[in-house]
Structure 1
Amino acid sequence: MVGTWDLQQFDVKNAFLHEELEEEIYMHIPPGFFKNVPINTVCKLKKTLYGLKQSPRAWFGRFTKVMTSLGYKQSQGDHTLFIKHSPQGGVTVFLVYVDDIIMTGDDWKEQQILNQCLAKEFEIKTLGKLKYFLGIEVAHSRKGIFISQQKYITDLLKETGNTACKPASIPMDPNLKLGNTEEGVAVDKEMYQRLVGRLIYLSHTRPDIAYAEEEFCSKDYAVADYAGSIIDRRSTTGYCTFIGGNLVTWRSKKQNVVARSTAEAEFQAMAQGIC
């Protein structure tokens, strides 16, 4: 990512403790408050608490109302993304994940105004330039912004006991064919699913493992080429999109229907890539 837009990071303190509840919810009296209290007495909650399933919705609902009241538009593609265009042509972009916030844009005046407005509504801590967000490390240089998941990978190798494994030039053999089998050693299903989920998240910064990750996700069939599945003969779609020389989207996925020719498989892949 190259440009003059700085990525700033913020944290909201006690985000779930100040929101109003729409439902009527009661809780047991906390330990230490039982003195001079009748038996079977409960407390009626007036505000949200951490651990309450309604808390995230209530917090985000209030945050959304504040942002829209300040003139920001909520993205329909990602509801946690808010964008505002100034009359002078500037842009301010705001992304929130629970109580972690990222702000960027080229309208510095609007960013200062937004900081002041949010400080009145919430208790916000400014963390400065974005360095680490949801397991993704961010490095800033004159050439642009670079993201990686080195710590995430190291923790994953430790968790799976593969810290001594040898590096490979490619994620997996592209000619490998997988199919159903009734034999072999049984695997820990929960551990396998957890590993696949972590590999999917890793592919955000390592698109080169997207095909291998898809292969592991669909462990009962092979997705390698035209009619590559040895079970249902479906083909695989793979595409990537560049904007200004920067890779922005990519995907490797088995097609929904069986292609009757290589041309049909290519048309399906082209349609998915464009749409």
Structure 2
Amino acid sequence: MVIYSRKFIWNCQWDINPPPHQASRGALDYSLFTKGSGNEFVALLVYVDDIVITGSNLQVIESLKSFLHSHFKLKDLGNLKYFLGLEIARSHNGIVLSQRQYVLQLLEDTRFLACKHAAMPMDPKVRLSSFEGELLEDSSMYRRLPRKPHLTAIHHLLQYIKATPGQGLLFSADSSLQLRAYADADWGSCPDSRKSITGFCVFLGDSMVSWTAKK
């Protein structure tokens, strides 16, 4: 996979593109455009004045770059290394996405940069409630945390990410393209509303590409 990042002045609509570079706009994400399939597939992601181009064929990518240069004022930043808080690292094993710099800044802002490590993000036995536990005297730092047990849980989480600042997602170069999904539910587990908590994760080969957990 080849990925490039550029400064992009978005001064007109992508819809003006004539063939052969006419692309399809994403149905769920209007900032994503795709074209072709197989070895001819290429994707373009737009965010304000930045774009990311990725695909499996360098010649197709170079052709798209030349086409964009003819329509917009661009600055090529080369291989993608940092985008929207994500750090991208490459090796012969594949591509790793992490948020190391963001994590270190978060720990510094919360004064947890020198804290002790925690082995788990949260104690699985803890059940937080909006009505149990002592109220916080000063909630200005954590506006959405009503009580001290919530603050304790956040501090424990900060201790966990202190031990794993560079942990991320590996998209293996040798992974298959098989799509797998897993789901689970904890019925009636919310102590306040008795709502269930459900979650799912989706893997492309060995790489997790989507996940969520919610009431």
Could you tell me which of 231, 235, 241 is aligned with 2:202? 241
Q: 1:89 to 1:172 in 2, by over 3 A?
A: closer
Listed as ranges, the gaps of 5+ residues in structure 2 are 145-153, 162-166, 170-184
| Number of residue pairs the alignment of both structures matches | 179
Partner of 1:8: 4
Shift of 1:170: 0.9
Partner of 1:192: 143
Q: 1:225 to 1:206 in 2, by over 3 A?
A: farther
Q: Which amino acid aligns with 1:64?
A: W
Q: Deviations over 1:89-136 (max 9, x none)?
A: 511111111111111112333322221221122211111111111111
Could you tell me which of 64, 69, 77 is aligned with 1:127? 77
Listed as ranges, the gaps of 5+ residues in structure 1 are 17-58, 208-223, 255-275
Shift of 1:63: 3.6
Could you tell me which of 111, 115, 122 is aligned with 1:165? 115
Give the structure-2-normalised TM-score.
0.73
The equivalences for 1:49-198 within 5 A come to 59=11, 62-67=12-17, 70-85=21-36, 90-181=40-131, 183-188=134-139, 191-192=142-143
Question: In 2, Cα distance between the equivalents of 1:226 and 1:206?
Answer: 30
SS of residue paired to 2:143: helix
Radius of gyration: which is bigger? 1
RMSD: 2.8
Give the structure-1-normalised TM-score.
0.58
Larger strand percent: 2
Question: In 1, Cα distance between the equivalents of 2:36 and 2:115?
Answer: 49
Question: In 2, Cα distance between the equivalents of 1:99 and 1:153?
Answer: 25
Question: In 2, Cα distance between the equivalents of 1:9 and 1:131?
Answer: 8
Could you tell me whether the CA contact under 8 Å between 2:190 and 2:196 is conserved in 1?
A: yes
Question: In 2, Cα distance between the equivalents of 1:93 and 1:187?
Answer: 47
Partner of 1:250: 211
Question: In 1, Cα distance between the equivalents of 2:142 and 2:49?
Answer: 29
1:232 paired with 2:189, answer no
Could you tell me whether the CA contact under 8 Å between 1:68 and 1:74 is conserved in 2?
A: no
Q: Deviations over 1:172-208 (max 9, x none)?
A: 1112112223852244357435xx9xx9xx9xx769x
Q: Which amino acid aligns with 1:226?
A: W
Q: 1:132 to 1:235 in 2, by over 3 A?
A: same
Q: Which amino acid aligns with 1:11?
A: K
Percent identity between matched residues is 35
Q: 1:189 to 1:181 in 2, by over 3 A?
A: farther
Q: Which amino acid aligns with 2:114?
A: A
